[in-house]
Amino acid sequence: MSTGGLVALHTQHLAEPVASTYLDLLGRAIRSARLNKTFPERRQLDGTLRALGAKAHHGLYDGIYLDSRWGLPNMASFTRPVADQGVGAGALAEYESQAELDAKADQADVFARMAAKRRYFELLQTLTLAPVDEHRVLLRRHEPAEARASFRVELTKLSGSGAYLRVVIELTQTSSVWSHKLVDLDVNGEVASGTEALRGMVYRFASYDAETLFIRLHELEGVQVERVQRGIVGPVRFALPTEHGVVSVLEAADDLTSAAWSEACAAAGGQPLMMASFGSDVAALDVREEKSNDPLAPLLSAGIRDVERARYTLLRERHPFRVYKDRKFVASRPLVAGIKSACNDAGCKNLIYPLR
Amino acid sequence: MAGEKLNLDILQKDVAYTGEGISVKSLEDEISEERDVQNVKVEELKVLRERNVEIQKSLADEVGKLRKFSDYINGTATKGGFWAGFKEVLSHLPGLKNIAISQRSIEELLKQQYQISARRVKEAAEYVDTLKKSEQDLYEEIDRINGKILEAATNEAAAADHVIELKRLIDEIGEEMQTVEAGSVDARDLEAKQDKARAQLAKHSANLQLYSAAEDRYANLKTNTRKLVETIRNLGQDIGQYTTAASIKLDMASAQIQAIGTAADASVVMLELKKSLDVMTESMNATTQFVSDTQVFFRKNLDNLITELDTFDENTSKLLDENLEFSKQIEDERIERAIEKAIKNRAERGDAPPAGEGA
């Protein structure tokens, strides 16, 4: 399979060694981004990116699959190490020792393969991997006398658009209104778990603005939402020179950084380039100013059609939250100035970390 | 002195048999050990067969759910269209039996199902390596049996050569005895030498038989071990081909499955949806074919093989029993002849029969 080509719907294959170069750059970009708890956990992402590389699997796979729009590993790639970790945990007990397998590696392909797998499986047992999806519900405060409890709901999700994101919701539920119960507490009132209704709703709305989810939840009787925040990894662009040409994201959407990207690519002179951005989107009661400092994502209100505006305004008046959107970038040095200029032109002041 | 022309060095000849020597018991023990190794592998194969059935079933179940789901979305499974079949298909997905449709995200459910299917394919791929390792173990076993066959054949040839030499010597001694006076010292000396030659003939002819039997039995063991290897290799290849195909299909279908989920969640049927269904259906067809083929394969081959091995057991014991019976018969005849000779000698010498023996 040639490297960098589209192989299925929104699916791009990166063959080794290009895949490992990409994974190394992306790992460095994520580390450089200094992600806080708004975003999916960096340690898990690090683990998955490491597990996908040839140094980890010792040639067991010929490459990885990416989402050709967003530039991140796709569901098949996120699933691979997780499935291998599970299978490996059981298989290791039945394998011969590493020394025995290494000694027999020349006798037959299967022993060489099992020697490589043993190393890979052993490594996987030490790694924390990024989940394709993960739900958590944490109890923040319980006031039995008031029949009220506050929760923090967290969802990490690889979305259908190819983005890897995290949604965090802080809400208070008054338990007298059972018809809209979103969170169950155990008999001791200590452990919370989300109902299927909450889980499904958050999951479906995770790909939309924080504002949309805030309104949807807040409109439920007995539920008061304090904060909805989203942290989104990507989109990612890369240009990786190979002997057959430059491999890049094939279906990247045009945005304000496209011109800077094209200029840097033209002047790259065979150097690999990467640009990753990390968007955050908060709808909360304690946001002081409603603003988008994200050059790639304007406020929802900016895109509302005139016929909808009156209804939207009425809706917003009912809910006293504000929205703040932001984005930071990590980019190879030749890109930094161009991205900064594009952000300034859009009236945004963004953090732009050079890729280390 | 009579017999000066005889080559009596043959009697002193140390026949260079390789290995640890042979007897009916040692042969029986060694064959039994080899059979134990084979039995262990057959037992392993039985366990592998059971695991294969589990993995196949699980694979077929999990991937089948994806197929069913896509069939319903495709509108081919029910006359009532998408939503009519939707509720039913959700009952096949994890944790959904008692939950209203609107509560769960279809995208999430499909992704869960995708991950379960991917895990099952990985398990099947792991199973292929277990089979390949088992196949390699059996090749080593065949090498070992070949060594035994070669050793038995070499020893059989050495025994045969020596038996012929001894037979010739016995005949030559017999001819020489015609030239000397019966009962003379020379005659007695020749007789003694002939006895020695006969004793050695008995010993080495028994070896000849045993090494010949060993060669045949090891050859039979090898034939059965080869059948085991072929069974395991064919199974491994079949599953290997399937898992490779299934793994590629799943890799290719991941974005399409997400697209289905996202579209279903948004209640929008998109063109991408239709595209994805074709890929999933191919994968499902491969699963169904694989399950059907390998189950038939196992039913036909493994059961036959086990029956053959049982028959082989019977044949081996029968052969060993016959050999023992034959040896006993020879020994009885030999003893009988010896007794006859003893009685005859005594009669010639005019000795009285021992006490208790009839007149």
pLDDT of residue A143: 80
Share of chain A above pLDDT 70, in %: 94
Name A230's bridge partners: A167, A281
Distance (Å, whole) CA B125 – CA A40: 31
Going by pLDDT thresholds of 50, 70 and 90, the confidence category of residue A52 is very high
pLDDT of residue A220: 73
Residue B287 has pLDDT above 50, yes or no: no
**Mean pLDDT (chain B, rounded):** 69
Among B55, B228, B210, which residue's Cα sits nearest to residue B126? Answer: B55
Share of chain B above pLDDT 70, in %: 58
Lowest mean pLDDT among A169-183, A243-257, B251-265: A169-183
Residue A117 has pLDDT above 70, yes or no: yes
Is some CB atom of chain B closer than 8 A to the CB atom of A89? no
Q: Which residue has the tokens 């909808």?
A: A308
pLDDT of residue A51: 98
Distance (Å, whole) CA A346 – CA A210: 22
Could you say which of A83, A160, A196 has the minimum Cβ distance to residue B119? A83
Report which DSSP code applies to B353: P
The shortest C-alpha distance from A23 to chain B (Å) reads: 18
C-alpha atoms less than 13 angstroms from C-alpha of B335 in its C-beta half-sphere: 6
Distance (Å, whole) CA A71 – CA A136: 27
Is some CB atom of chain B closer than 8 A to the CB atom of A57? no
Q: Which residue has the tokens 């603003």?
A: A291
Q: Which residue has the tokens 């959904």?
A: B96
Q: A132: which chain B residues are within 8 Å (Cβ-Cβ)?
A: 111, 115
Share of chain B above pLDDT 90, in %: 3
Lowest mean pLDDT among A33-42, A88-97, B119-128: B119-128
pLDDT of residue B87: 47
Q: A133: which chain B residues are within 8 Å (Cβ-Cβ)?
A: 108, 111-112
Q: State the DSSP string of A69-100.
A: TT-SB-HHHHHHHHHHHHHHHHHGGGSPPHHH
Most B-contacting residue of A104, A132, A201 (CB-CB within 10 A), to test interface: A132
Q: B229: which chain A residues are within 8 Å (Cβ-Cβ)?
A: none
pLDDT in tens, B305-334: 444 444 444 544 454 455 446 555 654 564
pTM tops 0.95: no
Residue B38 has pLDDT above 80, yes or no: no
Cα–chain-centroid distance for residue A8?
Answer: 21
C-alpha distances (whole Å) from A98 to each of A13, A61, A115, B173, B240 are: 31, 20, 6, 66, 24
- Complex ipTM, two decimals? 0.89
Cβ of B252 within 8 Å of Cβ of A11? The answer is yes
Mean of pLDDT values over B126-130:
88
Lowest mean pLDDT among A182-196, B156-170, B174-188, B300-314: B300-314
Is some CB atom of chain B closer than 8 A to the CB atom of A87? yes
A274 by Cβ neighbours in 10 Å (0-12 / 13-18 / 19+) ranks as: buried
pLDDT of residue B297: 41
Amino acid at B97: K
B56 versus A313: the higher-pLDDT residue is A313
pLDDT in tens, B70-87: 555 544 444 554 444 444
Going by pLDDT thresholds of 50, 70 and 90, the confidence category of residue A137 is confident
DSSP-derived 3-state class of residue A6: strand
- Residue A62 is encoded by which pair of tokens? 């010929």
Share of chain A above pLDDT 90, in %: 65
Distance (Å, whole) CA A332 – CA A248: 14
Out of A260-264, B155-159, B251-255, B336-340, give the one with best mean pLDDT. Answer: A260-264
Q: State the DSSP string of A154-210.
A: EEEEE-TTS-EEEEEEEEEEETT-GGG--EEE-TTS--EEE-HHHHHHHHHHTTS-H
